[in-house]
Amino acid sequence: MLYSEKINTTVKNKIATISFYHPASNSFPSSQLAELTKTINDLNTTTDINLIILKSEGEKAFCAGASFDELLQISDIETGTSFFSGFANVINAMRKSNKLIIGRIQGKTVGGGVGLAAACDYCFATENASIKLSELAIGIGPFVIEPAVTRKIGFPAMSEMTLEAETWKSAQWAKEHKLYTQVFESIVEMDEALQIFAERLSSYNPEALYEMKKVLWKDTDHWDVLLKERAAISGKLVLSDFTINALNAFKTK
């Protein structure tokens, strides 16, 4: 049974599977974001791994985004910027990883979780994996993850998701807009297809895979600076009375 936050890595057949868990619908506190970033970066030096699978544990939410409890504890811009830089660091680690990253999205995902899915190079999902960018509804915005999400689904779809902050988009919508590559009726079906795909991909020339990764992420070298600048915007907005009241209202639901 799952009790507390954690990140685990297992390796089999040249495939590293990173799984994360948090009891609050797989949301992320800053400590766990830092651990995930380090885990991804550390795998860059592991030569017997050709591929990474990113997944969360459980059968419900893939990721609920930022930890609301920690957001409510932020009291100054520096702390706020540091917190949102956690998501920036993870996305940049995924972008700069020398391994292709396959996302396994088994359930609903919100905010920063959508950013994680977008930063994957290929995504498997179930029909339950609906998505939402709820940030405007709590007084901030998806500033840090916007470049990653827009890169996958385009500006019109990103705008639609952002402005419809309280509307869930279906997994099929996500597939039609290229966030997900394949969508399955059940977790079992998804995992079977993912395993076949991952094992085939990991058998390819690792040098070719890395060169392809660089091609897929061309013109993103400026993200190291850009995402930190975006984190500063969110770090300021999270201190607003609107956001504090919205977070407290959400917690009492």
Residue 127 has pLDDT above 50, yes or no: yes
Interatomic CA distance for residues 197 and 119, integer angstroms: 19
List the domains of the chain with CATH numbers. 6-202 (3.90.226.10)
Confidence at 4, pLDDT banded by 50, 70, 90 = low
Specify the range with the lowest mean pLDDT, choosing from 70-79, 109-118, 120-129, 149-158: 70-79
What is the radius of gyration, based on Cα positions, of the chain? 17
Q: Which sign does the torsion angle of CA 89, 216, 46, 180 carry?
A: positive
Query: Per-residue pLDDT tens for 85-113?
Result: 999 999 999 999 999 999 999 999 999 99
Residue 148 has pLDDT above 60, yes or no: yes
Kindly report the average pLDDT of the chain as a whole number. 95
Query: Per-residue pLDDT tens for 173-231?
Result: 999 999 999 999 999 999 999 999 999 999 999 999 999 999 999 999 999 999 999 99
For residue 14, which phi and psi values (nearest 5 degrees)? 65, 15
Q: Are 124 and 194 in contact (CB under 8 A)?
A: yes
pLDDT at 68: 87
pLDDT at 253: 64
**Taking residues 118-129, what's their average pLDDT?**
98
pLDDT at 2: 43
Query: Per-residue pLDDT tens for 37-89?
Result: 999 999 999 999 999 999 999 999 999 999 988 998 999 999 999 999 999 99
